[in-house]
Amino acid sequence: MRHLATWDADTTLANPLTAAPRGLLLDPAYRAGVAQLGALGLSYDAWLFFPQLPELYDLAKANPDVPIVVNHCGGVVRIASYEDKRKEVFDDWSRSMRALAQLPNVYVKVGGLGMRINGFDFDKGERPPSSMELADAWKPWMHTCIEAFGADRCMFESNFPVDKGSYPYSNGWNAFKRLTAQARPDERDALFRGTVSKVYRLG
């Protein structure tokens, strides 16, 4: 499978402390730690950038008893050296997410697209985007996640206060409602409540 460059220095500098460094998920000592989670009834949350999704696939496949949660729609990056490669980014991200979806222990937090690295530029507008504008912008990404994984392995997330610089909290959740207006009641229940309750054992 061909991917874009596995790492981008500009992206690393843009978000130096929040995402996993390249190669971490392939490190034997780190993987040994992750392998302990299943027996303890714990899950693993992965916040990384989309070029690292193949690393996560390898980790998830090696630990089928560990529920693994992909944060923020899989780390969409569309700034710096990726800014003029948006089609390639979407295609590469989509392939990696669909590959992960083949592993039944992997789940996705659908949200977190208000960060500057996502490249939607809502933080630059004179007024906050409406829920309709958010839904239109997010639809290709979020619908791909839900289509690939199914509603029972997806959960909506706010990512607040981090996303606060791009849109109001209420507009984000109203966008999720717009994006699921045609979904079945059981699918909406999974996305808004059921999946997160199951994965994090909230009862």
Does residue 10 lie in a domain region?
Answer: no
SS3 155: strand
* Digit-coded pLDDT (tens) for 165-203: 999 999 999 999 999 999 999 999 999 999 999 999 997
Does residue 24 lie in a domain region?
Answer: no
Does residue 33 lie in a domain region?
Answer: no
Instruction: Give the H or E element holding residue 69.
Output: strand 68-70
SS3 91: helix
Does residue 102 lie in a domain region?
Answer: yes
- Specify the CATH number for the domain of residue 177: 3.20.20.140
* Digit-coded pLDDT (tens) for 80-129: 999 999 999 999 999 999 999 999 999 999 999 999 999 999 999 999 99
The boundaries of the domain holding residue 139 are 46-199
The C-alpha atoms of residue 74 and residue 110 are separated, in whole angstroms, by: 9
Does residue 104 lie in a domain region?
Answer: yes
Question: Count of domains in the chain?
Answer: 1
Does residue 117 lie in a domain region?
Answer: yes
Does residue 30 lie in a domain region?
Answer: no
Calculate the CA dihedral of residues 121, 169, 49, 31 and round it to 10 degrees.
170
Does residue 16 lie in a domain region?
Answer: no
Q: What is the pTM of this model?
A: 0.90
